[in-house]
Amino acid sequence: MNAVFYLLAAITIAGGLAAILLKHLIHAALAVTVAFGGIALLFLQLDAQFVGFAQILVYIGAVAILIVFAILLTHGADLPEKGVFNKGWAAALVIAAAVFAVTGWAVLQSIDAVPQRNAAPVVSMHDVGNALVGRYVLPLEIVGLLLTAATIGAVIVAMHEKERSR
Amino acid sequence: MAATPFFANLDRIFILLRDWLVGFLPAAFRPAAGVLLAVIAIVCVFPGLFALTTIFERKGLGRMQNRLGPNRVGPFGLFQPVADGIKALIKEDIVPLSSNSLVHFLAPLTLVVAVFMEFAVLPMGRNMALVDMDAGLLFFFAMSASTELSVFMAGWSSRNKYSLLGAMRAIAQMISYEVVLVLSSVSVVMIAGSLSLTAIVDKQNHYTAGLPHWYIFTPWGCAAFVMFAIAATAETNRSPFDLPEGESELVAGYHTEYSGFKFALFFLGEYLAMFSVSGLGTTLFLGGWSAPLSVLNWVPSWIWFFGKVMMSIFVFIWMRGTLPRLRQDQLMNFAWKFVLPFTLLDLLVTALWRMLGPGWERWVFCSVILLVAYVLMGLGAGRRRHIGPRTYRYAE
Amino acid sequence: MTAFPSPLVGYLLVAAVLFAIGLAGALIRRNAIIVLISIELMLNSANLNLIAFWRFGPHSSALTGMMFAIFSIAVAAAEAAVGLGLVISIYRHTNTAELDKINRLKG
């Protein structure tokens, strides 16, 4: 465990915390972008180059911009008068802490069963490409269909409706 | 295949220089020091080229518009960038009172950092890529996508409706043309079989009867290069796609509220993006650092690379001086209704090229398909459906 | 911080923390878009888990973890697009994006 991992973990967790705690929506969106960047760097640290760069390209380059556009279109910059947190925030925090406790306990309990391979896997882009059109061609096509349906669906859902006389 | 050892050494002169400088250090520090030296070289060379390009652009545009460019500072005005730099550094840094100062401060930084990272994977000469990544092209596009968010940060944090409008337009344009940029590069990846930019250049470094195997000299490559050039012009917000920062439309678009050094950083970021996307276009389509004729192989490879990049910059400047600016909806129409379908068709033609195998048939087939499609799409686009008030169903 | 028993445990704990943070955000905040951001955080933490197990587990040449993560990124992006489209559409009808005001079926 080296210092780089601790630094990246700190950046990611700080970004996530800022995203849920900041009052101003655009600041929260930028904080979650930092968290996305931190996770991309963690992927690169784990020798998953393709996924790391795809994470930057998709999340920072597209999803973050989508979030920011949605905030602007719903006038999120105006802060609500009753505060930004729910009424039952204490219960929510307890639930989240409980979930973390259970998962953390599960991870720490099963250290012996956890695989220990330490050598970096030698994966080239050729292998990724071959896997995508070889073994995983069905998920690839289905994801393509899903993305088409999602695009068309998002456009239709967010479209202005035609003026109908009621 | 250099003729004499002198030219072989000239080709490798930067590598030899780095090795000599690094040899002064103990062996443990040598790799890190080598990388640091290469980074320092990139950080010095490309802003230097930026300074040169500003003066070439102003004088070039001036000549195209039948006037002299700047000619007061230095011989033929060549020291103008020095004057501009000093002006940018000593200007007062005005930050609007109601702006988000942290985001306002970070926007130009994120832009310049993301754009500098793009230079890391470009092969600027034989063995002269800073990092030879297996997924170099994907890294380049990832960094290019990160610049869009900084444009938004600049436009939104200025608390100025013109800046926000300019930023929204710029982001919409950059996202649309990014798809085209990536798809036209995918054609090259299909034929070269690798995402690594050094491998792509190596594949183009062969000669038949003295002529090179650059991808622009193939039918699918020529079409893909034209689409790439259009998308590159739109990605870097250059004329004729510069409505987001059009001086006569929106003051200065998303960098209206920036003054002094931060404005210079935006300017630097835009020109560096132009350099890096020209470098990518050179690598993918124009053969990178390889010579145009096999008899010219003795000229050092980095001279060819930078020569081709400067030729692309000249074409950028030429387009700026010649073509009128496109309106925002014309620009988006053009992207989604013409350029993208043509790029998808070009992908099919590339696959056909590969499947047909070497021979004259594939040349004829692919050229005919592309020409017919271009003519048909052009005819279809030129025909007006109805003359009347323009209505938009999906984008209110 | 003490050293972890294995590097994998470190990554799994970071993923667990991120998941808990995302869950807390989805339950605490009133604005619909922040809830969507928190859901994206949860999906990211699951991806981190997948890649960590791919890296440290056996059979990493089968690329299963990597493929799973890539498809998860694609699906998450699609889901974010549709979710944000829904939020925009709801905002047009009810002029608010806060979840405790959109608690009636009659629009």
* A121/C60 touch (CB, cutoff 8 Å), yes or no: yes
DSSP string, B48-90: HHHHHHHHHHHHHHHHHTTS----SSSGGGTTHHHHHHHHHHH
Is the model's pLDDT at B342 over the cut of 90? yes
Task: Decide: A19 and C41 in contact? Cβ < 8 Å.
Answer: yes
What is d(CA A133, CA A141) in angstroms, rounded to the nearest whole number?
9
Higher pLDDT, B351 or B30: B351
pLDDT in tens, B98-142: 777 888 889 999 999 999 999 999 999 888 888 888 899 999 999
Tokens of B207: 């000669």
Report the C-alpha gap between B200 and B385 in whole angstroms.
Answer: 43
Name chain A contacts of B391, Cβ cutoff 8 Å: none
Residue B3 in this model has a pLDDT that exceeds 70: no
Report d(CA B175, CA C78) in Å as an integer. Answer: 16
Contacts 24+ apart (CB under 8 A), B371-380: B373/B342, B373/B345, B374/B223, B374/B342, B377/B338, B377/B341, B377/B342
Structure tokens at B360: 């004259």
Closest Cβ opposite residue A43 in set C51, C53, C89: C51
CATH number of C41's domain: 1.10.287.3510
| Beta-carbon separation of A114 and C52 below 8 A | no
pLDDT at B1 over 80: no
Against chain B, the chains showing at least 3 CB pairs within 8 Å are A
Per-residue pLDDT tens for C25-56? Answer: 999 988 899 999 999 999 999 999 999 988 88
Q: What pLDDT digit, counting tens, does each position of B329-338 carry?
A: 888 888 998 9
pLDDT confidence band for B251 (50 / 70 / 90): low
Which pLDDT score is estimated for A163? Answer: 57
In this structure, is residue B176 part of a structural domain?
A: yes
Residues of chain C below pLDDT 50 = 1-2
Q: Which of A125, A155, A161 should we substitute to test contact with B (largest number of B Cβ atoms within 10 Å)?
A: A125
| Percent of chain B predicted with pLDDT > 90 | 41
Interface of A with C in 4-23 (CB under 8 A): 5-6, 9, 12-13, 16-17, 19-20
Mean pLDDT score, B17-22:
87
Per-residue model confidence as pLDDT tens digits over B186-239: 999 999 988 999 999 998 888 887 678 889 889 999 999 999 999 999 998 887
Residue B194 backbone dihedrals phi, psi, to 5 degrees: -155, 150
CA dihedral (A154, B330, B107, B260) in degrees, to 10, reads -160
Percent of chain B with pLDDT over 70: 94
Domain spanning A1-80, CATH class: mainly alpha
Instruction: Domain count for chain C, please give it.
Output: 1
User: Which of the four pLDDT bands, split at 50, 70 and 90, describes residue B12?
Assistant: confident
Residue C106 lies in a domain: no
Distance CA B261, CA B265 (A): 6
Q: Which pLDDT score is estimated for B326?
A: 85
In a domain, C69, yes or no: yes
C102 near A CB under 8 A: no
Residue B75 placed within a domain? no
Rg (CA), chain A: 21
Domain span at B282: 95-379
Per-residue pLDDT reduced to its tens digit, B51-73: 999 999 999 999 999 998 888 88
Write the DSSP string, B186-206.
HHHHHHH--S-HHHHHHHH--
Q: Which residues is B212 bridged to in the sheet?
A: B207
pTM metric for this prediction: 0.92
Measured between alpha carbons, how far is B282 from B269 in angstroms, rounded to an integer? 20
CA C18 centroid distance within chain? 9
Tens-binned pLDDT, residue by residue, of chain A (166 aa) = 588 999 999 999 999 999 999 988 899 999 999 999 999 999 999 989 999 999 999 999 999 999 999 998 888 777 666 777 878 889 999 999 999 999 999 988 887 776 666 777 778 888 888 889 999 999 999 999 999 999 999 989 888 776 554 4
Q: In the 8-state DSSP scheme, what is residue B207?
A: E
Would you say residue B44 lies in a domain?
no
Quote the pLDDT of residue C1.
Answer: 41
User: Quick check: B219 and B366 in contact, CB under 8 A?
Assistant: yes
Put simply, whether C28 touches A (Cβ < 8 Å) is: yes
Write out the residue range of the structural domain in which residue C37 sits: 7-101
